[in-house]
Every structure is written in structure tokens, then in C-alpha cells.
Amino acid sequence: MLRTTLFAAAFALAATATSAATVIIDQGPLAGASANGIDSFKSIPYAAPPTGDLRWRAPQTGPRWITPRDATAFGPICPQHATEGLIARANLPQSEDCLTLNLWTPGGRKLPVMVWIYGGGFTQGGASVPRYDGTALARRGVVLVTFNYRVGRLGFFPHPALADADFGLLDQIAALQWVKRNIAAFGGDPGNVTIYGESAGGVSVDMLMSSPLAKGLFAKAIAESGGLFDPTTKIEDARKGALDFATRLGAKDVAALRAASVDAILKADDDDDGPVVDGKAILEDPRDAFAAGHQAKVPYLTGTNSAEGAMLGTQNADWLTKPLGDRLAAVRKLYDTASDAEFAQLLFNDRFMAGPTDQLARAAAPRAPAYVYRFGFLNARAHMRGETGVPHGGEMVFVWGFGDLAAFAPPQDTAMSDTMQRYWTNFARTGDPNGEGLPAWPRFEGAHPQTLVIDDKTVPVADFRKAQFDALSPARTPVP
């Protein structure tokens, strides 16, 4: 019995052991790792470190090397206030030298490529969060890429003395340019790149679709819980906030700004920053770009979760209801099964997340295939906690997979993860999420477009929540 146990342990160890994987890119040779049929390469610099004189500049050409560069460990994430969520729990190292990317590949030729853009409100996030391990998706036959981009004031700073403002978006574009140049070396097809992201990453996807600088860098797009719900700030309206930040920092000119310590920058940053319409990366509000047909004409998959409004918690919801004015009673009737607290959360869902997503899809659909989802499947832990809907970000574990915990997940959860991964990778492969054995997902088109409601039973629903969306569309109040 002991011998059998030792043999089984040795076999398991051998099965998960890693070996070297090598590849040559335009910067030099890389030495990554190979495990269970997947090669991985981490902390590859796609641009020069944005430090010193390169702080608050557009990303510059990355370094080159001659001897094989070690690519077996993640690099640091970009500096930020890591106070909550995935980043705080992961406790990842930080550094301004953070413009790196990671990828996983099953090997082959002309494979579809998926490039992930993380969320975090443009103030937090990192590509090395354990949840963003690309192994499971790579096993589906795609090359999976994650990358860091600058966040907070280091990433978005519309100071009038600087040549640019949306440095984080410029980082995203530089990463996609790197993919275009190098992904064939890893078996990927540079002509079949899908960008996808969640929350601020989903917003980034919509912004990249609207950006002339990203033209030709991707062929498909997936926006998870993006919610482009209010106008993107114009750069002239954001100048005062940038100047106030410089005053708090005690910096009288650009040289002083670039000489300041990262700690001082984080201390002075109030996290009241994000992309602006700068006339370069973003020429116009992305909602206007979609409405006018100026966005990239590529297959577009987008959607939200059933309880995005849970992020409100128990805060006072007057700011949600007051803009409705004398229409409040009529709107309230559309939610007649909800308590006041539930009404506030559903109102947030429809006003700030699902409604704007529906609006963007309606604008995109006449020009390229569009697919819309509503994710409402509750996993086993959510049922145990008595939750009634899927909160913001709750779909991600099913898209990325359960990793080392997959063997312990209930069958219904792993089945849903299989469904979501197949939808996402089918879309990356062909521009159509449908496949054998999957519930049919109709295109979002026609007089009564259908949204795929993904739940215990997954079915398409025509004119999903149209009455609520139509009733709320005149109420354009900002989130406090």
C-alpha cells in the first residue's frame, strides 16, 4: 500500500513538473516554462520602464537583449492604492517598472489570440492576479495574453504641461502593437486577436473600439460589465483636478512632477482620475462614436450580471431616484416586486450597467455581428450565502476557470465554466460564440433583439428589460 501511494505521488509530481520553453521575439530570446502541454512566458517588457524622464510620457520602445531572458515569473504591477478586492488579497509587489505582459500558449500555428484587459476603476488592477491565470483558456486552443497598464494619476493625468493624458490607454495600445509584432512566434494569429476585459477593462474595450490609434490591432471585442453610462470627461474639464493634484504634490513644473517619489504621488492621489477625451487616444465620447458608427466594425460580445447593483450596499439611493423627478412613480411600477433596497439596486443595474450596454450593442449591431448576455447563474457558494444575483465581476471565475480548485467545484459550477469558456473561445475563433452542444445564442439584431440570459436554464429573451431601459434613458445623472 505504501509503495502504491508513493508511486502515485511520484506520478502526480512528474505530471505537473515544469520544463523549459524557448522562443525568439523581436527583442531577443525568451526562456519560459512548459507544464502539462502549455508553454508560459511572463514579465515580458512590451515598452520601456516609464520611470524618470519617461514618467507621464507615451510608452517608448522596449529593451532588447542577446542572451535568453528569464520569463518564468511575474513582474510587479503598476503603483496603486491596493485597498480592496483582488489586488489587496493578492498582495502583489509594485513598481513603476511595470509595463510587462504574460502569455500562455498550447503551441501550434495561426491560433486565435485573446488579450485580457483588467478592471479596477482605472485606479487598481494587475495582470498577475492569480484569477487571471491563462492556462485553462489556453487549453481551449487559444493564445492568452495579459498585461499591466498604468493606473491612477500615473496612468491618467491631463496636466496642461504634458503632451498626453491617457497614458494607461496608450499602454494598452502599445501592448496590442507588441502582440501584432510578436504573437506569431508563440503560435498566435496576429490577424485574429480578440480584446476582452471586465469593469474598467470592459470600458477600455469600448474605448479601444473608438480609438483611431487602435485601428487594425484587434479583430473582435468582448466587454464584460463595462457600463459606459456617462460622458467621458473632456480634457479641458479635467485640467483643474490635475493642477490640484500637482499642488498637493508640491510640484511647480514637469521636472518636479517627474522627480517626485511614488509614495508621494500615491499619497497626493485621490483616485479621482481616469480616461479623458484627449483628442489623441480618444477623439470623442465613445458613446457618441458608437452612435455615429465611428467605432471598429468588428464582432462585438457584451453583457452584464444580474446583481451589478449589489456594489451599492446599503448606501442612500436618493441620488438614483431624484433625477427621475415626477416619473419616479411610473418607473417604480416597473419594479413592483422589489423592496426599496432591491429597487435601488435594480435601478442601478439598469441605469448604469445593463441599459448602457444594451444601447452600445444596438448601435454596433447594424455594422457588425453583436451578441449580448445577462449572467445570472449562482454558484454553490452564492447559494449557501443566500445571494439572489450575480454581483459585479461574478462571471469571471466561470470565464477563467477554477484553477487548482476545479477538482473540488460542484459539477454544475464546472459545467457552467465549460459553457462560458466555450462561448468566449468560440467567439475568439470565429466571431460567433455558438458551438455544438451549447444553448443557441442569437445575434443581437432586428426589431426585437435577443439577449442570452445565462442561468440554471440558458435561453434567449427578446427585448430584455426594454421597458426599464426606455424609462431610464432620459435620466443621465453621474455616479456620486
Give start-end residues of each CATH 3.40.50.1820 domain in the chain: 1-298, 303-480
Distance from C-alpha of 292 to C-alpha of 287, rounded to nearest angstrom: 9
Q: Are 241 and 273 in contact (CB under 8 A)?
A: yes
Q: Which of 96, 224, 308, 395 is catalytic?
A: 308
Share of the chain above pLDDT 90, in %: 80
Q: Mean pLDDT lowest for which of 7-11, 122-126, 129-133, 328-332?
A: 7-11
pLDDT band of residue 270 (cuts 50, 70, 90) is: confident
pLDDT band of residue 474 (cuts 50, 70, 90) is: low
| pTM score | 0.94
Q: Give mean pLDDT, residues 227-238.
A: 86
**Structure-derived torsion over alpha carbons of residues 405, 406, 410, 412, reported in degrees to the nearest 10:** 140
pLDDT given at position 16: 43
Q: What is the DSSP string of 180-221?
A: HHHGGGGTEEEEEEEEEEETHHHHHHHHHHH-GGGTTS-SEE
Asked about 308 being catalytic, the answer comes back as: yes
pLDDT band of residue 147 (cuts 50, 70, 90) is: very high
Q: Give mean pLDDT, residues 77-96.
A: 86
Q: Mean pLDDT lowest for which of 192-206, 219-233, 253-267?
A: 219-233
Asked about 294 being catalytic, the answer comes back as: no
Q: Which of 43, 128, 199, 225 is catalytic?
A: 199
pLDDT given at position 404: 79
- Name the more confident of 61 and 19: 61
Asked about 198 being catalytic, the answer comes back as: no
Distance from C-alpha of 172 to C-alpha of 213, rounded to nearest angstrom: 10
pLDDT band of residue 274 (cuts 50, 70, 90) is: very high
Q: Give mean pLDDT, residues 377-399.
A: 84
pLDDT band of residue 1 (cuts 50, 70, 90) is: very low
Which residue's C-alpha cell is 416597473?
A: 334
DSSP state of 165: S
pLDDT band of residue 11 (cuts 50, 70, 90) is: very low
- Reported as a single tens digit per residue, the pLDDT across 21-70 is 999 999 999 999 999 999 999 999 999 999 999 999 999 999 999 999 99
Check pLDDT > 50 for residue 133: yes
CATH number for domain 303-480, candidates 1.10.150.20, 3.40.50.1820, 3.40.630.30, 3.40.50.720: 3.40.50.1820
Q: β-pairing, 111-117 with 69-70?
A: unpaired
Q: What is the CATH number of domain 1-298?
A: 3.40.50.1820
End-to-end CA distance of the chain: 64
Check pLDDT > 90 for residue 217: yes
